Amino acid sequence: MKTEIQTDLESKKILKWGIWAYFLLLIFEGSLRKWVLPGLATPLLVVRDPIAIWLIYLSWKRNLLPTNIYITAMFIITVLSICAALIFGHGNLFVTIYGARILLIHFPLIFIIGKILDKEDVIKIGRVMLWISIPMVILIALQFYSPQSAWVNRGVGGDMEGAGFSGAMGFFRPPGTFSFTNGNTLFFSFLASFIIYFWVTISKINKIILIGASLALVISIPLSISRGLLFSVGVSLIFAIFALLRKPKNFFKIIIVGLVFIGLLFVLNEVEFFQTATEAFTNRFETASDFEGGIQGTLIDRYFGSFIDAFSGSSGMGFFGYGIGMGTNAGSQLLTGERAFLIAEGEWGRLIGEMGLLLGSAVILIRMLFCAEILLKSFKNLKSENLLPWLLLSFGLLNIPQGQWAQPTALGFAIVSGGLILASLNDPEVQDENIKST
């Protein structure tokens, strides 16, 4: 007969495999939709949903499903939004289900990941990301320099027009293994947090892989033609400097990390393919900055301005909005036959437009309060020399409160990053003791 402790350990092991499957499908889902199974591109859009449902079910069955105010409040709000969408909104059941799944089956995963995994598990995921980054940057380099008709640039469902997005100087923003280019930006933005962590705690990683991944990160910035990636890496560096400067003995670690990245830039700047990508990236940056109004337009207005826009555009809608799911691309496809932003491109505008001012604001508040909690916990962990949650937070704070969760890849990275931040706060030895004591 198995003891209760053995059953709990086995359940956690199975759940860990499920979390790994969710994580790997997040990275390679686009590959399945573009190259491996293009004929199944539409159902593969929600390929992670069955895993999410299974993780929730098994966690509940084994009494490992976390219960907190965030999950409870989000569940109540979503149920009310479902009823409102069917009675007062667009009335389409499939659109409603598609929109509700974001909050009902993906949002709880943040806390399941945070309960099942611990700091060592997070470090393992970080190591895997470093390994993946090297072939990933080779892929985006091929996509960057290849025509959109090339196989590497094939779009979702085998679309021969290509998956690249308008960039600069005739070059397109490459998507990597993802369905859309935002996945490439999110992957390398998240990778930056781990790379900085491993440079600070260099004994936890193979140095050759770390150098290779660092090189991949630096190369990815111009190849991506993404200002968002540059800003995200900059935020991670600011978080790292803040954490390390709290103790003078860490000053040399800052110098080492800085010298590594400066050295990589000098070496790469002598390579022609990097020079070309840098020129395209610079051209895109200058053109977009002139159009949007410099740093204020590209950073301040893009992030903080959408807060104001979301509320200012709510005056003409009903109390319950237009209906949950309507603001997603898949929802617009089902309702109109075309992919479009029927409500708003920004996340906050979408939430308020779909769910109304009261319920939409409640969802925003829950996400903001969760971010405030992990911010405080991560900051407190700096005292015990645990830099990992703080560095991961540099990515999470840009994507959990305002990330475009209607887009599956952005949703996946927000959920995974939130869960890994919580998990990085867990000491492995304490986790084991808690299981034995229950």
On whether the CB atoms of residues 152 and 265 are closer than 8 A, the answer is: no
State the Cα–Cα distance between residues 274 and 220, nearest whole angstrom.
10
**Between residues 298 and 22, which one has the greater pLDDT?**
22
Specify the higher pLDDT residue, 151 or 418. 418
Q: What's this model's pTM, rounded to 2 decimal places? A: 0.91
pLDDT, tens digit (0-9, with 9 covering 90-100), for 261-276: 777 777 777 677 677 7
Q: How far is residue 391 from each of residues 241, 262, 314, 396, measured CA to CA in Å? A: 10, 20, 35, 9
pLDDT in tens, 117-144: 999 999 999 999 999 999 999 999 999 8
Contact 139, 183 (CB under 8 A): no
pLDDT value of residue 435: 46
Residue 148 has pLDDT above 90, yes or no: no
Question: What is the mean pLDDT of the segment spanning 213-225?
Answer: 90
What is the model's pLDDT at position 397? 94
Per-residue pLDDT at 302 exceeds 60: no
Residue 152 has pLDDT above 50, yes or no: yes
Please list, in sequence order, all residues whose beta carbon lies within 8 angstroms of the beta carbon of residue 393, skipping any fewer than 6 positions away.
Answer: 239, 374, 375, 378, 421
pLDDT tens-digit readout, 96-117? 999 999 999 999 999 999 999 9
C-alpha neighbours within 13 Å on the C-beta side of residue 424: 33
Give me the residue spans of the domains in the chain: 4-437
Q: What is the pLDDT of residues 170-190, one digit of tens each?
A: 678 899 999 888 999 999 999
Confidence of residue 1 (pLDDT cuts 50, 70, 90): very low
pLDDT at 249 > cutoff 70: no
**Quick one: pLDDT at residue 227?**
82
Q: How many CB atoms lie within 10 A of CB 84?
A: 22
Contacts of 363 (CB under 8 A, 6+ apart): 74, 77, 103, 351, 355
| Structure tokens belonging to residue 175 | 């998507």
- Pick from 8-12, 91-95, 392-396: least confident: 8-12
pLDDT tier for residue 296 given thresholds of 50, 70 and 90 = low
Query: Given pLDDT bands bounded at 50, 70 and 90, which one contains residue 259?
Result: confident
| Rounded average pLDDT over 238-251 | 80
Name the packing angle between helices 49-61 and 4-31 (round to 10°): 170
The Cα–Cα gap between 222 and 145 comes to 12
According to the model, what pLDDT value does residue 305 have? 52
Could you give the CA distance from residue 212 to residue 14 in angstroms, rounded to a whole number?
A: 32
